[in-house]
Amino acid sequence: MRKHKNIKFLRFSILLLMLLLIALLLWLLWKFVPRASVRFCLLAVCAGILAAAGLLNWYQRLQISSFAGEICETLDALMSGRQPEDYHPYEDSLTSRVQGKLLQYYDIMNEGKLQSQKDKETIQGLVSDISHQVKTPVANLRLYAGILKNPALPAEKRNEFLGTMSGQIDKLDFLLQSLIKMSRLETGTFALHITEAPLKDTIAAAMSTVWARAEEKGIALLADCDSGITVQHDPKWTAEALGNILDNAVKYTPGGGSVAITVRPWQFYTRIDITDTGTGIPEEHYNDIFQRFYRGQEAAAQEGVGLGLYLANGIVTRQKGYISVKSRVGKGTVFSVYLLS
């Protein structure tokens, strides 16, 4: 409101000044210029100057209203979802500046739409994945159930088949769990509670999940983490992610090898290295290992669904960190997990 008042006052005082100056001019002319023709000429010239100034003012207004018109046009176009017509993106004018910002805003709003579309597609993909993966165990179960229906089955065979069936059910269970986690991850329906928590505990939790298997294979499990280090992370989910990586490491390291965890805090991120002496990953596959259901050729014999690293990557990425891998075939692999400090 005050701005309005100020502008009004300014306009009024300028007009007043103009009137005063005109009066002064008239007085000077009448006092000092003797010839009437010269007087009138001077007045005519002054009137001409004022007219030109007025024209300039009118032209400025015209430009401002055309500016407003262009902006409204742009908004109309964007609202109906088409590209604005008169858009010169790289012109150095006020119009382009505003138009550029409007288009940016439109893009951001559009993103949301696109995002929900993508989510739908993802869910569809997930559903098809699930149904595909589930097919095999279910078929097996049906088969065995059918066999077991036969009363004439010998007892050892029955026990064997039952054992296989329970194995398949475990696998099914594991698959479903992973799938559920994956779906939650993709659709973002689980909440990450990011806190500043000590890293050592998280690592300890992760290690505890693979301790047994490592002992079994005779792989040394080492951890080196300063107890004072804290990171921004969700302890539960991060432990799970680290657990998945450790699981992988243990799986692909032959007996007698070692898996070591080292923590190095940097400026923005804290780096957690998980080094194993396993079979290694060829360079071409560095990016592939983080994809859904990928399993390396060497690992065909091993258990697993190919979701572990995918989940770990998803969890870490959601915490605004990232994972990188470096490996030498036959010698070992280093997984580096970066978490925000």
| Chain-centre distance for alpha carbon 26 | 72
Whichever of 144 and 290 has its CB closer to another protein, that residue is: 290
- Find the radius of gyration of the CA atoms of the chain: 38
Rounded to the nearest whole angstrom, what is the least distance from the CB of residue 301 to another protein in the complex? 27
Residue 299 DSSP code: G
CA 122 to CA 18: how far, in whole Å? 70
Rounded to the nearest whole angstrom, what is the least distance from the CB of residue 93 to another protein in the complex? 5
Rounded to the nearest whole angstrom, what is the least distance from the CB of residue 312 to another protein in the complex? 15
CA 154 to CA 213: how far, in whole Å? 34
Whichever of 158 and 326 has its CB closer to another protein, that residue is: 326
Rounded to the nearest whole angstrom, what is the least distance from the CB of residue 231 to another protein in the complex? 13
Whichever of 200 and 326 has its CB closer to another protein, that residue is: 326
- List the strands of the sheet with 220-224, edge to edge: 220-224, 258-265, 269-276, 332-340, 322-328
Identify the sign of the CA torsion 87, 89, 90, 95.
positive
Rounded to the nearest whole angstrom, what is the least distance from the CB of residue 82 to another protein in the complex? 14
Rounded to the nearest whole angstrom, what is the least distance from the CB of residue 341 to another protein in the complex? 10
CA 94 to CA 23: how far, in whole Å? 39
> 89-93 long-range CB contacts below 8 Å, 24 or more apart?
none
Q: Which residues pair with 324 in a beta bridge?
A: 336
Whichever of 114 and 220 has its CB closer to another protein, that residue is: 114
Whichever of 95 and 244 has its CB closer to another protein, that residue is: 95
Q: Which helix (H) or strand (E) holds 335?
A: strand 332-340
Contact indicator for 277, 253 with CB cutoff of 8 Å: yes
Q: Six-digit token pair at 64?
A: 């401002």
Print burial letters for 85-124: b (CB count within 10 Å at least 16), e (below 16).
eebeeeeeeebeeebeebbeebeeeeeeeeeeeeeeeeee
Rounded to the nearest whole angstrom, what is the least distance from the CB of residue 310 to another protein in the complex? 15
CA 18 to CA 241: how far, in whole Å? 77
| List of residues contacting another protein (CB under 8 A) | 34-35, 63-64, 67, 89-97, 100, 104, 111, 266-269, 271, 283, 286-287, 317, 320, 322, 324-326, 338
Q: Which residues pair with 326 in a beta bridge?
A: 334
Whichever of 185 and 325 has its CB closer to another protein, that residue is: 325
Rounded to the nearest whole angstrom, what is the least distance from the CB of residue 130 to another protein in the complex? 26
Whichever of 33 and 204 has its CB closer to another protein, that residue is: 33
Whichever of 30 and 266 has its CB closer to another protein, that residue is: 266
Whichever of 272 and 325 has its CB closer to another protein, that residue is: 325
Rounded to the nearest whole angstrom, what is the least distance from the CB of residue 65 to another protein in the complex? 11
| Among 278, 269, 270, CA closest to 247 | 278
